[in-house]
Amino acid sequence: MKPDCSNDDHSVSGLSAVDDSVCDRAAGIFRALGDPGRLKVLILLSQQEMCVTEIAIALEEQMTTISQRLKLLKSERLVRSRRDGKHLFYSVADQHVSQLVSNGIDHARETDP
């Protein structure tokens, strides 16, 4: 059956460059970004490295809640941690994460009525 759209070239060559495992990983990243609380953590960490206590104070949340969010973000490799004595400091994993968060926020601002 021939599609009814006007484009005669119906190839999907761009999709063939992305295998299923990469799509699964990207979907996991977007699921992690889909929670406003986790997104707020990433916004803070895009600005500076912080410990759990600093994040909890900034967001007025319980430290256990922040720790759970950081655990999930770390499992998706969106944040990384470093130990300094008995404290763990968190930051975004790389510039891609900062850009992804920034682009999402910018797009949300553009599409607000």
Domains and CATH numbers, the chain: 18-111 (1.10.10.10)
- Token representation of residue 102: 């920034």
Give exposure, 80-94, as e/b (b: 16+ Cβ within 10 Å).
Answer: beeeeeeeebbbbbe
Mean pLDDT by 10 residues, the chain (113 residues): 62 71 92 96 97 98 98 97 96 96 92 63
What pTM was estimated for this model as a whole? 0.83
Res 18: pLDDT:
83
- Token representation of residue 64: 């256990």
- Token representation of residue 51: 């410990």
Res 15: pLDDT:
63
Using alpha carbons, list the distances in angstroms from residue 79 to 30, 39, 51, 99. Answer: 14, 12, 12, 13
Q: Tell me which long-range contacts 63-68 makes (C-beta under 8 A, separation of at least 24).
A: 65/37, 66/41
Res 2: pLDDT:
60
